[in-house]
Amino acid sequence: MIIVTGGAGFIGSNIVRGLNKRGLNNILVVDDLSDGNKIRNIEDCDIEDYMDKDEFLNRIKQGMEFGGPTAIYHQGACSDTMEADGRFIMQTNYEYSKSLYHYCGEYSIPYIYASSASVYGGGEVFKEQPKYEQALNAYAYSKLLFDRYVRKNPGVSDSQVVGLRYFNVYGKGEEHKGRMASVAYHFFNQYHEQGYVKLFGGSGGYADGEQLRDFVWIDDVVDVNLHFLEHPEANGTFNVGSGRAQSFNDVATAVLNTLENATKTSEQWVAEKKIQYIEFPQALVGKYQSYTKADLTNLTMSGEYSKNFAKVEEGVKNYVTQLAAVR
């Protein structure tokens, strides 16, 4: 059995779907379905069972073996970077992850867990090394502290332990995430609701819409996750991004070009007022990453992973086409 926590969430449900495509269906999905909309993410998935996240944790603490899992994908977390309740964040993201880490160590179960590029804070070097890490908010700190815990306590497990630092992931299955959904998703909806898309104005020394992020397509993220399942000898912390820094203008342009079957530039869309800028929110000042770009040396140059990651122009086009097909 493969256990996927957060299995009804964005990345988790796509991992479940990826496992299904490989003929694997002995899967236990663990999640919190207080938001019933998340059921849409797994209704077409072939799974063995479902369990609430609190019940699962209770059984973990009791030492229940679940028939001997072959791996645990820990994707469950509070992913709201604006969540102000630090106690809730630490309990949900940090303590829960620790419990699963010790459980996997005790029963020799491969443990592949979701970390985050937010651990790099406002820096401009994105290597999996302590000197480049800093946290700008409680969410980032919860992720960073668990990465540090694993580093400091490697003897907990003699099985595979892999932490994946996701950059800005976009794609199918994120509809329930509200404000934390990708900008590609929000741009798609804004276009249909008002005929144009809204981007942040200039900030952090960047011009309007020119803040740069590493946007990574969900299909590429799933491929990396499944790669490590197929290579249980691999261990460590790895960045998962495209390895490119592209602007929010690039994303908006890809959305608009796909929806209008065009090949225009961002400047042309601005001139047509289909890209518009709003004042950068004061609430995000000092808490916002204006630039991210995954250093993939640890993942790719080591020979660990060799596939190419989609550019925004390719991945966003595929995603928007999927969204338009079901609208």
| Three-state SS at 322 | helix
User: Could you count the other beta carbons within 10 Å of the beta carbon of residue 276?
Assistant: 17
Residue 139 annotated among the catalytic residues of the structure: yes
pLDDT at 42: 97
Q: Where in the chain is the domain with CATH 3.40.50.720?
A: 2-169+215-241+296-301
Lowest pLDDT segment from 15-19, 24-28, 173-177, 219-223: 173-177
- pLDDT tens column, 59-89: 999 999 998 999 999 999 988 887 889 999 9
Topology annotation, domain 175-212+246-292+312-320? UDP-galactose 4-epimerase; domain 1 (3.90.25)
Whole-number mean pLDDT of the chain?
A: 95
Structure confidence at residue 302 as a pLDDT band (50, 70, 90): low
Q: Which two tokens stand for residue 217?
A: 């397509």
Name the catalytic one among 113, 120, 139, 170.
Answer: 139
Residue 311 annotated among the catalytic residues of the structure: no
pLDDT at 287: 76
| Three-state SS at 224 | helix
- pLDDT tens column, 145-189: 999 999 999 999 999 999 999 999 999 999 999 989 999 999 999
**Residues near 201 by Cβ (< 8 Å), separated by ≥ 6?**
208, 209, 277, 278, 279, 280
| Contacts of the segment 89-95: beta carbons below 8 A, 24+ positions apart | 89/138, 89/139, 89/141, 89/142, 90/138, 90/142, 90/145, 92/142, 93/139, 93/142, 93/143, 93/146, 94/142, 94/145, 94/146, 94/149
Q: Where in the chain is the domain with CATH 3.90.25.10?
A: 175-212+246-292+312-320
Structure confidence at residue 282 as a pLDDT band (50, 70, 90): confident
Q: Which two tokens stand for residue 171?
A: 């794609």
Name the catalytic one among 98, 177, 287, 311.
Answer: 177
Q: Right CATH number for 2-169+215-241+296-301 from 3.40.309.10, 3.40.50.720, 3.40.630.30, 3.40.50.300?
A: 3.40.50.720
275-278/197-200 β-pairing: parallel
- pLDDT tens column, 268-281: 999 999 999 999 99
- pLDDT tens column, 192-202: 999 999 999 99
What is the enclosing helix (H) or strand (E) of 191?
helix 183-194
- pLDDT tens column, 100-134: 999 999 999 999 999 999 999 989 999 999 999 99
- pLDDT tens column, 26-45: 999 999 999 999 999 999 99
